[in-house]
Structure 1
């Protein structure tokens, strides 16, 4: 008697717990149904600074090599900005790289695959599925043990068409499709960012190789002058007009300068090899160097306002797509807490022979409905929803960081470009002055007023000033390319994501 009472009490307690859990689950679903299933996916508002850097950007840079670059405020980005360098050789390199890069081609194929996966998911989740099947079998019938083993053999033929459809009552499939569509958008924007980065890397690689070639040529001339000085000092020492210390110092200077050449040549070859790989070539097929002097400095450089930068930079657009995908996943996790309704139907023929199966007597059909409501999953569904919400929060924070990093990138590039122009202007002044002094010294040597070593010293100053001018000139060319890349793409050119399909939000 006592045991039966305990069992009954335990059953009542479990039933109460189950009813409480069911009531709590229904209360939660009603509360969730009263509000949105997930965040809207709209990116958070970001601060809009008056200017990118700590200091206001000037309207134009100082003039250097006859060009003063103008910062065109509120201008649209330039799509094929590398053509502003007015170099057919550079244009050919960029076109070749965009056409033949394996990385870019792989990213393009991955995007195409993602788009097909999106089409497949939309078709399987929003449309009914219809399948046809046929079965033919030969079976041994059941016998009766008292009369011996079974002996009845018969054939069975069945052909059916089955259909099934799950109603998206609370948007689980719709949110899942929206999440995948946003992920496809993200890949499209990443492909655009990779394309722009490849073009910028080819331009800066070509500029770097040309600058290193010019530096090597100038350094080789400096080494030749230093060797002449060392030989002259050695002869004067042998004649007694110079000390041994002077001769040794001249040899040491020549040897030290010559030691810098291998490093320059190695850097030049490495740059050419990297450029060849960017073009889709093997390193032994590296392109010829472009003449640094043949590259024109783009005079007008667009500076997109910070508010418009959010819509032109593909990295920011990719971060925006991540936010939208994460928001849709919150909707998916919420919709899983609600009922799911499915319908199924089948129609076919069956019988013990093909004539019977194909006759009217062999008709088979069925229709059914299935309703499922989650009640208790050990807190798994709620935990999945909380995890989706946290993932969304992380995506929002990553978006903010991406925007701030983009502002920093533009600010640093603008500052570098302004400083490059100032440094180049000073180096150009020094180069002109040292060239004038070298010309004067050369004329005085011809007149016999000064010894040849004085002219060599003047030329060395001139060549060193040339080296500085080469470095600052290449830096301005490269930083201009970086600024064009930092500005992003014009509106309408990063619409690959639209081809991913409509968003089912």
Structure 2
């Protein structure tokens, strides 16, 4: 018995250990920049290393409509409902597995109508009576080698996996809504710029047509300007179609149908580029990324599965006992006869055609797979942060360059218009200046949109602040306690 008690504190198979990261791990080969500046009067974003990320990180864009839309989407998203249901299922499975460490108690009872004929012993009568039974059975599999505890461990790890899948769903939903709203704002600005370009083109067309009527320009110049106006107008339907697609995407993300109203409308004037960017320490990233934590939970479960496969190859010991009464009278009265038994059983697999051995090898291969996947997810997490930081730097430089291009193109167009009116510049010069300004203005809008998107991507790459999410369900917190 002392030996059994000593063994009861052990569990077969490897114990799970959190994977360690290199001490010199970082986001970039070079040091992080202190800021991302767009040059001139452009916005500058300061890098704040080690700052925590709020659970409602999207509020940094300063749009109340965006915050309201995301909050309503978090309450209505079918993807989140599915993730919550999957978490509940995994938690209940963990509770069910945990019940295996306790004794099992069953109560059995029954009543049978029995007829006995005495003809076999030369008597001429038949006895009919009721036989009642009641029995309490108790069984307790002794988890001496820890196989049951490993099963509980694996089930709890699966619940942790589903919990972090839910957190990833929260982060992904918020990010998708932010990015879609930014794309809507970008498309509205591009449509506005394209409509202004069309209006300018029409004014120039009217000027060219008057000069053609006076005989000062050729018909070819009129036709060229008409073609330029038509080309600018042709861009508008595609932009409006993409805008409607973004609106439908926002409805879908918010759990609404395309026919449902969507009050929120987004423009760059309603969004603020955050002036400070939190960048978590590299050592904290693996604790913050829900996909890394999910991969870690799968690695934990795979480790426990190896222990389960080893336990299946070893002896299984269980205690059992029962007590009851049987009789033709009320079994609760003294008329019944007591029946009882108790004992211990041992089961040792001898030959199963190599099944248990191959299951153990499969579990070990599954552990190696989970370890490799965990490493891959960690590498991907650091790559995401590095890509977001590089994108922010490139976007700031691109915005500065595009603003310079736009200012130069605007000044060049104004000079070309004046020279054309005075007759000192050809129409081709005016047309080239007009096309250059058109592209510069739209390019600047797209560059600014990319900077907003890269900012949202950084927040997502750093984990999205799920650990500070105020809406976190108590059951979710319990899953990892």
C-alpha change, 1:338 and 1:391, in structure 2 (3 Å) is same
Question: SS of the counterpart of 2:344?
Answer: strand
Shift of 1:140: 2.9
1:333 aligns with 2:312: no
> Partner of 1:300 in structure 2?
276
1:69 aligns with 2:45: yes
Contact kept? 1:184, 1:497, Cα under 8 Å: no
Q: Cα deviation per residue 1:345-393 (whole Å; 9 max; x = unaligned)?
A: 2222221132x65225432322232211112221111111111000000
Compute the TM-score of the two structures, normalised by the length of structure 2: 0.87
Distance in 1 between the 2:185 and 2:12 partners?
A: 58
> Partner of 2:377 in structure 1?
402
C-alpha change, 1:306 and 1:376, in structure 2 (3 Å) is same
Contact kept? 2:288, 2:465, Cα under 8 Å: yes
Q: How many residues were matched structurally?
A: 466
Shift of 1:146: 8.7
> Partner of 1:208 in structure 2?
183
Shift of 1:470: 1.3
> Partner of 2:3 in structure 1?
none
Aligned positions of 1:184-195 closer than 5 A:
184-195=159-170
C-alpha change, 1:149 and 1:280, in structure 2 (3 Å) is farther
Question: SS of the counterpart of 1:363?
Answer: strand
Contact kept? 2:87, 2:163, Cα under 8 Å: yes
Backbone CA RMSD of aligned residues: 3.1
1:94 aligns with 2:70: yes
Contact kept? 2:328, 2:336, Cα under 8 Å: no
Aligned positions of 1:9-408 closer than 5 A:
37-47=12-22, 51-53=26-28, 55-64=30-39, 65-123=41-99, 125-141=100-116, 151-284=126-259, 285-354=261-330, 358-359=333-334, 361-408=336-383
1:474 aligns with 2:449: yes
- Structure 1: gaps (5+ residues): 1-32
Shift of 1:450: 8.5
Distance in 2 between the 1:62 and 1:411 partners?
A: 18
C-alpha change, 1:55 and 1:241, in structure 2 (3 Å) is farther
- Structure 2: gaps (5+ residues): 1-7
Shift of 1:395: 0.3
C-alpha change, 1:148 and 1:257, in structure 2 (3 Å) is farther
Aligned positions of 1:398-437 closer than 5 A:
398-436=373-411
Question: SS of the counterpart of 1:253?
Answer: helix
Shift of 1:472: 1.0
Compute the TM-score of the two structures, normalised by the length of structure 1: 0.83
Distance in 2 between the 1:401 and 1:303 partners?
A: 21
